[in-house]
Amino acid sequence: MSGPVHIASDGEWESLLSGTSVVVADFYADWCGPCKMIAPHFERLAKEHSSPKKVAFAKVNVDNQANIARTNGVTAMPTFKIFHNGTAIETIRGANPSALTEAVNKAVSLSGSSGKKAEAVFKTPGRTLGGGAAAQGQGRPWNVSGLLNIVMMLVGLYLTSLFSIDAFKAAEQSMFNPNRQPAPQPKPTAAKGPVPAGSARVQQQQQKPAFRTLADFSSIAFQESHDASRGQSLEDIEKVVREAKQRFRDTLPKGYLNEEEYALYERLYGPPLRETAPEDVGIPTHADMGGQVPRPTDEGTLLRQSEEGGFEEVTYRIPPRQGDEQELESEFEQPLESESAVETVQEPSDYVDAVARNPREREALQRLMQDFKTAQQKQLEDEVAAAREEAEAEQEAYEVEEEELFPESEEIAADAEPEMGLGESRRFHPYTLDGRFHASPVEISLPQSALVTPIRDLLDRTHLGHVKTAAEAAFGGQGLPTSPFTPEGRKNGQMGGVGLPPDQRHMTEIEADAFLAGYLPPSYASVVSVLREVRRRLGSDWIRQRLQKDGSAGLSVLDAGAGGAGLVAWDQVLQAEWDLLREQGVVKGSQPPGRKTVITGSDRLRHRLKSFLHNTTFLPRLPDYEHSGEMQGERLDAGDTPQARKSYDLIIASHLFLKEKQDHYRQAVLNNLWTLLNKDGGVLIVIEKAHPRGFEAVAHVRDTLLKQFILPQNGESSAPTEELNPAYHKEREPGHIIAPCTNHGTCPMYKEVGKSKGRKDYCYFNQRFTRPGFYTKMLGNSTNNQGDVEFSYVAIQRGRSKADQLPGWKSTEQAFAGYENSPNPPDMQTLPRMVLPPLKRKGHVTLDVCTPQGKIERWTVPKSYSKLAYHDARKSHWGDLWALGAKTRVTRSVRVGSGVDDGGKRAEGGKKPRKVEITMDGGRLSANEKNARKERRTKGKRDRQTDLIKEILEAEDIEELEIEREMDAEVQEEFELEDEKGRGRR
């Protein structure tokens, strides 16, 4: 027989009900403990009784299939429902194996014969865990003696109260009163060890009054169950003790066991460790299993599909009919019950109903639940009070700081751009806001309709576990270290390019899905971060001038390496500018014009990208126009008239250079991209992974552009024409670096071309983004949806020189002086950029910046320098431009490594040449090399001990020689004195 069927959709559930005579459904949750306990029993029943189209067993996860659970009125887990011909005929709440087995056996009998009716088989209502059910065919046994005792007690109480003046007092003191206080008896001898939990209960029983109110009914029942246990057998006592051990582990609630039960408990398991707390029975975890609040009669619900692909519940008001208006008015006119009355009525928890196996456990768990609610309420009140006090203190401190730091905040706000928020413009200097690298908020969200939803729909065709396995195989293992996102701790061992580039010619179906899931999200985050910075530095005119032209075809963009993520990011930036122009009435239409092209080598990947990249041209490889490029000198195939070539206003070269191992390959790719770039203001963006090798690839592109493609800035002379190779170099033209560099000289972190061994400092940036659900599962972390992608980049504009032609040292001096009170605004591309997060200390902030002079310096901004500059420095981020100056500056040493290991060539070019000295000692020739390099081999422990002994012996020899010299000198002095004395006597 087959096992239970796991319901995955509403359609599958309806199909099962309509196609099967009897359906036994288990409504469960993954976090439910009782659900896990009874699950094996349910599976055994399913394997034993399942029959196609007759009996089926179904498991419904209430968290995933909330609509099915809500339709069937499921409020507690586990809940078992039995359906006959699509109609629910039995409900069992809680993990009760016996009740479930009995109900399943009855339900199976319904499937065998069509003549039976469900009402005849299921005569009793639904059962709840802990409730007993009388066996069929047996009535309640008659207790004759008990009945006679009750009749005698009633007659005696009636006669006693009838012939007395104070009927209440006479009935209380009557011998027929079963709750009369007994005569005082000597206290029992205390047992060894801790005081039994039942001793307190005995005292309470002796002191209880004759008649109780309805409010004390639950405690009376709990005490009477204890009293009844005194006459129980040894087997019953042992059962109670074992159930208490199973439920409460090594703890016991106060007053749970009587003296006999506690004695057996102590003999079997030893004394309990402590009194039971709510955490010991899982109440904090399952405290939210209460029943649902009834929905108002004038409110309805609808299910609407969300952007993430799930369903959300939407409420709406049902307009009252004419006949119902008077009824509603009459209901509102009725007085409401007092709040105190409502508070005293407390519904029992569904978790207690599902777990409790007898009235005693129910009462104990109910008390623990009440204690938990009381403690939770007190904790909430304390947190609210503490938060209120903290907010008041922060508000007072903020008001004082505002008065000290921003006395002229209204003037600064008046000069700020209208795009900035009022709060930020009042707290920050306008130049600080203009120099920010990250937008507000810092974390970006991936577009749902343009990127996340299409990828999720494509991945739904394949099991996500298979996609994760393929992504780990393609991108370097767990955490996808060779994807655009590099996890922390995996940078040193994975310094190559991306593992699965989009221009790869052959991809399997699962590899194409792995590319969508593991490559596009971090690639989009890095590209959109760079595009925002480029737009901020070039201004809106860079885009608007092309869009405002009459009959303009818009801007053309080439995505070479981002696999379509660059086009999605560009659409977000372009659409924002287009909407602003449309609001101003300058342009018409909902979509901006333009041409989009993406490099995609695999047909399988291209078919997937076509589903959400509309109006896009797909190329299998990067176009090559080197045969007709404009070179210095004559070319055999060029001719007099150059051929027309395709050009792009924006080229996003993502992860193209690091995968090329040879420098001349990188040179060829760069020549090709530069040829495709529009000569009149085209922008080239180069992005690589954030590790030393990725930075060196970007720095090599920057160095090549400055030396071979772009005219020098600040009036510097270019290289002579005769030194250039016509077949390799192009004619230099205007252009400048947009970001991140503010200098056009040698990069301070890339002074020597090539790889550097042991590089510690390199230029890179980061962008925080919200991870989609499928990408989080690719990384193997299903709880954290916040990610940070790190990258190195450079953006260059062709055909337009830098506006400010000041020398680098001059721009650095002006930036160090600060523009806080300057009447002239600074050129943001001449300000120093932070290359590390700011170091915040008490009273000052230290900024590590790359200056326009081409140096890495450490600027210090103390509070005494400027309160506004100090405030903005503390709130600055890694990658921002700094315009408010500093008080001190020092040069910061850069750890660029030792360079490539060249096999000793550097030592050969040293000042001292290597010489070999040949000597003859005892008829043997020996050769000793002078100025030779010392071996860098580390010494072992024994060698170090030998060297230490040699040093000690040498020191002792030197000390003995000094002592001998001193003694010889003293002896010599004595001889000279004696000689002088002898001469004097003569």
Domain-wise residue ranges, the chain = 5-128, 410-435+807-891, 445-631+645-717+724-798, 945-977
Task: Provide the pLDDT for residue 651.
Answer: 93
Higher pLDDT, 615 or 174: 615
DSSP at 708:
I
Task: Provide the pLDDT for residue 964.
Answer: 80
Lowest mean pLDDT among 116-125, 265-274, 705-714, 779-788: 116-125
Helix, strand, or coil (residue 929): strand
Q: Which amino acid is residue 62, in one-letter code?
A: V
- Residue 35 known to be catalytic: yes
The CATH number corresponding to 5-128 among 3.30.530.20, 1.10.1740.10, 3.40.50.720, 3.40.30.10 equals 3.40.30.10
Percent of the chain exceeding pLDDT 70 equals: 68
pLDDT bin (cut points 50, 70, 90) of residue 186 is: very low
Task: Provide the pLDDT for residue 142.
Answer: 52
Lowest mean pLDDT among 117-131, 182-196, 255-269: 182-196
d(C-alpha 437, C-alpha 908), whole Å: 46
Class of residue 431 by CB neighbours under 10 A (exposed 0-12, middle 13-18, buried 19+) = buried
Angle between helices 234-248 and 359-405 (to 10 degrees): 20
Task: Provide the pLDDT for residue 32.
Answer: 82
Token pair in block for residue 265: 């408990």
- Say if residues 716 and 821 touch (Cβ distance below 8 Å): no
Q: Which residues have a Cβ under 8 Å from the Cβ of 285 and sit 6 or more positions away?
A: 31
Token pair in block for residue 146: 């008990």
Lowest mean pLDDT among 100-114, 759-773, 782-796: 100-114
- Span 870-924, pLDDT tens digits: 888 888 888 899 999 999 999 888 888 876 644 444 444 445 566 666 666 555 5
pLDDT bin (cut points 50, 70, 90) of residue 303 is: low
d(C-alpha 705, C-alpha 702), whole Å: 5
Q: Is the pLDDT of residue 609 over 60?
A: yes
Under CATH, which number does the domain 445-631+645-717+724-798 receive? 3.40.50.150
32, 741, 747, 850: the active-site residue:
32
Q: Is the pLDDT of residue 557 over 70?
A: yes
Higher pLDDT, 238 or 286: 238
Q: Which run of H or of E encompasses 90?
A: strand 87-93
Report the pLDDT averaged over residues 958-981.
Answer: 79
Token pair in block for residue 422: 């009022």
Q: Find where tokens 């080439």 sit.
A: 558
- Say if residues 856 and 894 touch (Cβ distance below 8 Å): yes
Mean confidence (pLDDT) of the chain: 75
- Span 355-398, pLDDT tens digits: 777 888 888 888 888 888 888 778 777 777 776 776 666 555 54
Task: Provide the pLDDT for residue 848.
Answer: 92
Q: 862-901 b/e with 16+ CB inside 10 Å = b? A: bbebbebbbbbbebbebbbbbbbbbbebeebebebbeeee
Q: Is the pLDDT of residue 659 over 80?
A: yes
Strands 87-93 and 127-128: parallel
Task: Provide the pLDDT for residue 929.
Answer: 61
- Span 91-115, pLDDT tens digits: 888 888 888 888 888 888 877 655 5
- Span 811-832, pLDDT tens digits: 888 889 988 888 888 888 889 9
Q: Which run of H or of E encompasses 153?
A: helix 144-162
- Span 539-548, pLDDT tens digits: 888 888 878 7
CA atoms within 13 A on the CB side of 270: 4
Lowest mean pLDDT among 90-99, 691-700, 758-767, 800-809: 800-809
For 182, phi and psi rounded to 5 degrees? -75, 170
Task: Provide the pLDDT for residue 965.
Answer: 82
pLDDT bin (cut points 50, 70, 90) of residue 726 is: low
pLDDT bin (cut points 50, 70, 90) of residue 580 is: confident
- Say if residues 744 and 713 touch (Cβ distance below 8 Å): yes
- CA triplet 763, 799, 557: central angle to 5 degrees? 70
35, 747, 763, 850: the active-site residue:
35
For 161, phi and psi rounded to 5 degrees? -75, -25
Higher pLDDT, 946 or 387: 946
Lowest mean pLDDT among 572-586, 738-752, 764-778, 927-941: 927-941
pLDDT bin (cut points 50, 70, 90) of residue 478 is: confident
The partner residues of 930 in beta bridges, in order of sequence, read: 915
Whose CA is closest to 734, among 682, 786, 770, 773?
682
Helix, strand, or coil (residue 687): strand
- Residue 763 known to be catalytic: no
Q: How far is CA 486 from the centre of its chain?
A: 15
Q: Give the C-alpha distances (Å, rounded to integers) separating 333 from 326, 377, 394.
A: 11, 33, 46
Could you count the other beta carbons within 10 Å of the beta carbon of residue 705? Answer: 21
Task: Provide the pLDDT for residue 390.
Answer: 65
